Amino acid sequence: MPSLFKHLFQPLKIRGCTLKNRIMSTGHDTTLPTDGTVNASLVAYQAARARGGVGLIVLQVSGVHETARYTNHVLMATEDSSIAGYAQVAEAVHRYGAALFAQLFHPGREMTEAEGGLLNIAYAPSSVPNERFHVMPQPLKKVMIDSIISGYGDAARRMQTAGLDGVEIVASHGYLPSQFLNPRINLRDDAYGGDFKRRLRFLSDVIDNIRGKVSDQFVVGLRISGSEQDEQGLTEEESLQAITAVSDRIDYVNVTLGNSASMGGAVHIAPPMTQTIAYVAPYAARVKKLVQIPVFVAGRINQPQDAEAVIATGQADVCGMTRALICDPELPNKAAKGALEAIRVCIACNQACIGHFHKGYPISCIQNPVSGRELRYGTLSRAAAKRVMVVGGGPAGMKAASIAAQRGHRVTLYEAERHLGGQALLAQLLPGRAEFGGLITNLGYEVWAAGVEVRKDCRVDREQVMEVGPDIVIVATGAKPYRPEFPSEGNLQILDAWEVLRGADVGNSVVVIDWRADWIGIGIAEQLVRKGHSVRLAVNGLCAGETLPLYVRDDAAATLHKLGVVILPYMRLYGADSNTVYLQHIASGEPVIVEGINTLVLCSGHTPISQLADDIENLSLDVHVIGDAASPRTAEEAVFEGLKVAAEI
């Protein structure tokens, strides 16, 4: 055991289950199931994390009652027919020595979607509306409360029959048990509402029902927010009171933060990189002082060093490292060997993990596109060695080069600049985006570990390709800022985002044109206003950050609002003169005139750098164009296409 991790790799016994280490993959929706049951994709996904050495996997939420179908792809544990699927994932996880718990779930008023676009009826303790999803729930009648409570116990029995080691009651993030606990949500005057004891009764009855239907060795835990971080949510004091009241009847408590009912509270469900590392740990530490059972915690614990520190300082006993394990399922094994430089570190971008969930797509990772695609890319075949020339050392080229070399090809990577990384080198310069540079570090290690020959400061043309004579050319030459045509008179300073990030002098009064409604326009606006500039952000969309993962968008919106950035939605650039920018409302067509401007900053997207691809298309070569060189998009598409092409050549 590495001396760095004396605490992280200590076993932990919880009732009849022993965790081999203190690393946990928390319950998170993968959108891999398609019909409410465990399928082969989900089994392969969880097996990859178990094989990577994690101590505990908590399966994504399973509905305990028909009224718990809050999405079209939620797992359901309401019928005995579900047992076979759970047994498959249990067998796959246990094969590698990991423990498996299941989350038992009812959303209450947190209803988001239903089949065919129709909304299901939401049930809650009282008719108190949900702000984020604009849902007005129906108050639960006693007969349905009884049915739901029984559903928790029946679901737990099914999990034990399937061979799982335990269950976790989800009372976090403002879901149904939390709604009963919350005096601002629970307005009942019967046995399930009123004073604290009656508001606790639902959770208490759920615990008792589960305990009455499983064996003494079966683990029963509780997930709850240490604070729901919202005016209408559970306070820290209320959460601590509930935890303390039931701690003698549960086996562990899993502490998280935030709620799902408000945009500000929901940011903490999958906190973006602007949140500090392990920032939830102090909440867990306060719980740990009050209870005698193990305390789990999750929230921006990205590296084993961070998890070790949390446990060593007595703040928690187990650390959830979910996104870290999506990014690198082998993290525990690598940490156990002391191979820290080999860990592909999560950058908390949220783009392909929780971002995919919000769009209804299967989970993945921009750095590790194998995640969620284990059945397709989990095992790559060896290739008949060919000479591969990869041109462009951004994310697409780096991924293609490393995968091709891993498969046995002889690979040389050519980069025109002095450093690998492409646009990620600029992205990391934006406020709150420094961790995005980890993408470069991680891909750089993969390139080195695979034995790729790298030639920097080397611009490739047709003649050099002909001279090298490769069997395969992968063109990943990226893109450059797009400058749209528009009427312009006078001497108004016009810059693109790249020029601003590279240090161009900018006037005091600025309009930022945000065509993509992504993180570039937001980041430029924040950077400039923090430097003292007056900024108006003109967005070609419904809102700033419209194309971003929801929690990243909402976190950025909060920051821009606090900084006083003026946001103009529904805007397109129409023209400019010496001190005026002319915009047009894209819905009404009406003009919007912004006067007294010194600088216009264009965040207008990118255009492919495709000259090399055009120049060599008539050569007798196997040529593949990937990433922004094919079509400017995001790092996710770039890295995935690097994997896809390199896996097939």
Domain that holds residue 569: 493-604
- Residues annotated as part of the active site: 175
Question: Helices 236-246 and 281-288: crossing angle, nearest 10°?
Answer: 40
Q: Quick check: is 182 in a domain?
A: yes
Domain containing residue 522: CATH number: 3.50.50.60
- Residue from 195, 291, 307, 279 nearest 250 by CA: 291
Residues 538, 406 within the same domain: no
Residues 534, 626 within the same domain: no
Q: Quick check: is 487 in a domain?
A: no
The pTM of the full predicted model, rounded to 2 decimals, is: 0.97
Domain containing residue 618: CATH number: 3.40.50.720
Average of per-residue pLDDT values in the chain: 97
Residues 354, 371 within the same domain: yes
Backbone φ and ψ of 81, nearest 5°: -65, -20
Residues 159, 213 within the same domain: yes
Residue 189: partners with Cβ closer than 8 Å, 6 or more residues away: none
Residue 451 tokens, joined: 């034995």
Residues 502, 474 within the same domain: no
**Sheet arrangement for strand 580-585:** 571-576, 580-585, 591-595
pLDDT tens-digit readout, 250-289: 999 999 999 999 999 999 999 999 999 999 999 999 999 9
Q: Which residue, of 376, 402, 420, is where some domain finishes?
A: 376
80-94 mean pLDDT: 98
SS3 content of the chain, % helix, strand, coil (to 5): 35, 20, 45
55-75 mean pLDDT: 95
Q: Quick check: is 310 in a domain?
A: yes
pLDDT for 117? 79
Q: Quick check: is 488 in a domain?
A: no
Q: Quick check: is 522 in a domain?
A: yes
Q: Quick check: is 486 in a domain?
A: no
4, 308 Cβ separation under 8 angstroms: yes
Residues 455, 505 within the same domain: no
State the Cα–Cα distance between residues 525 and 512, nearest whole angstrom.
Answer: 7
SS3 for 356-408 is HHHHCCCCCCCCCCCCCCHHHHCCCCCCCCCEEEEECCCHHHHHHHHHHHHCC
CB atoms within 10 A of CB 453: 13
Domain containing residue 221: CATH number: 3.20.20.70
| Residue 353 confidence (pLDDT) above 90 | yes
pLDDT for 4? 86
pLDDT for 2? 54
pLDDT tens-digit readout, 499-528: 999 999 999 999 999 999 999 999 999 999
Residues 260, 331 within the same domain: yes
State the Cα–Cα distance between residues 33 and 619, nearest whole angstrom.
Answer: 45
pLDDT tens-digit readout, 135-173: 999 999 999 999 999 999 999 999 999 999 999 999 999
Give how many domains the chain has, as a whole number: 3
